[in-house]
Amino acid sequence: MSDSSTWDALPQRLPDWFRDAPLGIFIHWGAYSVPAWAEPTAELGAIADDLGWFAHNPYAEWYFNTIRIEGSPAAEHHREVHGNAPYDDFLDQWEPTNFDPSAWADLFRRAGADYVIPTTKHHDGITLWDAPGTGDRNTVRRGPRQDLVGAIAEATKEAGLRFGVYYSGGLDWHVRPTEPLESGKDVSDLKRPRDDEYGKYCSAHMRDIIDRYQPDVFWNDIGWPDENFHFDEGGLGELLEYFYDQRPEGLINDRFSGAHQDFVTTEYQAGEIPEDQPWENNRGIGLSFGYNQVEDETQYMSGPRAIRHVVDAVSKDGRVMLNVGPRADGTLPELQVKTLEAVGEFMAEHKAHLAGSRGLGEQEIPGTTWARAVENDGQCYVFLSGPQGPLTISAADLPAGYDWPGEGVTVELPGEDAAPITISASSVNDPS
C-alpha cells in the first residue's frame, strides 16, 4: 500500500449537482415484493423498544428475516399464506410483466427529482443484475430474467437524471447466513459478517456496477466487513479509490462503518441532522420501503405532507430521498404515484426556489402551524401552512434581513390538507 493510499487521502466531495438537488428517488424492489407483507406498525425512530421493532418490523424488504423470528406476525402470515415456503421461491415467482422503466423515470422527473437510486442487492443477497459470484441467484438467471439495474440506469439517464446505486455491504443473509436479527446490536455488532472474503465479494460486485452502469452515488447500507478495511486488492479503500477515479462527480454516503463519507443520512425519524455537513433524509412514502400490500391511506404520506417534508429538509440545508416500492409486476402503487404527482405540481413552480438555496430553518409566524424559509439569489422564500383563511404577515415576522414595501402582506392560507403557499421578500442586508 502506498503512502498516499489512506482514508484521509480520499476525496471529500459535494458536487454541484448534489448540492442543488432537493429531491431524489429511492427504489426498493426485490423478491420481497412478491409476498409484499409487513406489519404496519410505526416509522423508524418512533418505536423505542429495540426488540419490538424487529419482531414487528414494518419494512417489507426485511421479510426474509422477520419470518424467522418465532412468534412474529410475519412468521404467522408466512405459515398461513405461503406454507413456510423457502424464501427463494419468491425469486422464481417474481414476474415483472408490467415493468416500464421509462415511465418510472418520466414520473420521477415530473416529481422534480434530480437523482434515482435503486436497490442492486438488499440484505437477502439477491442481485438485480448478473453479479459476479452469484451463480443463478440473480434476476438475470431466474425470476424476472432481466438486468433490472441496467434497465433502470438507462431510463434514468435518458430522462436527464443522475443515477446512483444502493448496495447492502453490511448484510447478506444468503452468503453469510445468521440466526434471525432481533436487535439493533445484532445488526451493528453480534451477527454481521466481518471477514475479508465477504468484503472482497462485495467489492467485486461494486466494481462490476461501476464499470457497467457508471453510478454517481454509491449508497451503501449497514456498514462494511471490518477485515476488508484496507487498500490492498479487493479492499474497501481500493474500491473507493476506484469509484472516485472513475466517477469525477460521484459521492458516497455515511454507511461504511465510519471509514469515509461525503454526506450524512437520516432515516424516517432516526438519526441526527448534522451541523455544517451535507445530509439527506430517506424514507418511504408509507412505513415500508419495499411494497407492503397491507398499507393504505392511513400509512401513506399525502402529497402536501410529502411536500412539507422536502421543504423542511431543504430549509435545514438537506435533501430528501423519497422511496417508491413497486409491486412485483413492475407497477407503482396508485397512492405512491398520487403523492409523487402532487409533489411534482408543487416542484414545477417552486423547485427553482429550493435548488441551490441556503436554509433559514423553521419560522415562528403567528397564525400559521408550519413555516419554513430559504434564501436564494437574494430573495427569501417562506413556505406556510395553517388553518384555511386570510392571514396578514408583517415584516417583523420575516427572517432578519428581509423586508417588503408597506406594513404587511395578506395571504390566503389553503388549509392544513393542502400544499403550503409561498411568499417572498427581498434582502435589505447582505444575508451572508
pLDDT digits (tens, 9 = 90+) for 11-67: 999 999 999 999 999 999 999 999 999 999 999 988 765 668 899 999 999 999 999
Using a 10 angstrom Cβ sphere, with 0-12 exposed, 13-18 middle and 19 or more buried, the burial of residue 198 is buried
pLDDT digits (tens, 9 = 90+) for 349-389: 999 999 999 999 999 999 999 999 999 998 999 999 999 99
Of the pLDDT bands very low, low, confident and very high (cuts 50, 70, 90), residue 1 is: very low
How far, CA to CA in Å, does 151 sit from each of 80, 168, 365?
Answer: 35, 20, 47
What is the reported pLDDT for 395?
83
Compute the average pLDDT of residues 105-134: 98
pLDDT of residue 407 exceeding 90, the answer is no
Q: How confident is the model at residue 208 (pLDDT cuts 50, 70, 90)?
A: very high
Report the SS3 class of residue 128: coil
> Within 10 Å of residue 211's Cβ, how many Cβ atoms?
10
Q: In the chain, which residues fall in CATH 3.20.20.80?
A: 7-354
pLDDT score of 270 more than 60: yes
The pLDDT score that the predictor gives to residue 279 is 98
SS3 content of the chain, % helix, strand, coil (to 5): 30, 20, 50
Q: What is the pLDDT of residues 276-288, one digit of tens each?
A: 999 999 999 999 9
Q: Which CATH class for the 7-354 domain?
A: alpha beta
Partners of 424 in beta bridges: 381
pLDDT band at 2 (very low <50, low <70, confident <90, very high): very low
Print burial letters for 4-29: b (CB count within 10 Å at least 16), e (below 16).
eeeeeebeebebeebeebbbbbbbbb
237-254 confidence digits (pLDDT tens): 999 999 999 999 999 999
* pLDDT value, residue 431: 40
